[in-house]
Structure 1
């Protein structure tokens, strides 16, 4: 009968530790490939903010002004921006701009801004009132 040479217990423990480390690395590599979709979606999906709504409202209002280059928009404190949901805001403000005769006029406006993916937005229910 032939006997197998005895293996050193330290080498056996070292071999087991290496196998466990390789298994753990493999497990976490596979897990990150298949189960990490939520983190990718959060990174790629930008949030539509109050400031985005204000900028979009300015763009929409400027399209309707006689002299958009002369437009001076009011400072926007948070109280004049109402958030309806994550992507919809109502902006209440005013703009000073020149009319067709060159006189400076103050125009109050109310604009509902709806944000979309890819950083795009649209204005709805835009109302202007000169005073």
Structure 2
């Protein structure tokens, strides 16, 4: 099954966008569906885990699977009850400046397609 894809372009540099990704305490600054993050690490590293409290009160457990700071990419697994998704994040330098942010969302088809909308909004805010 093909993952769903969300993308956004904006004027923020890839380095600044990476700093917004790399520090879980900053996720609620750019992701409107995130209200609070409790993580066992100040920065994303493979194996880091924690809980995201969503706008709707759901507690989403997560574990970071992979981080490549040089490539400006990372992935994580999120779980709410029996439902799990894997999200792969990428930042690309745009010709002329700015960033293309992209996420591939792996999981059950209806959920991945529905999550594209809030993911796109979050990515837009990440790069603006």
TM-score > 0.5 by shorter chain: no
Task: Report which of the two has the higher share of strand.
Answer: 2
TM-score (norm 1): 0.31
Higher relative contact order (CA 8 A, sep 6+): 2
TM-score (norm 2): 0.31
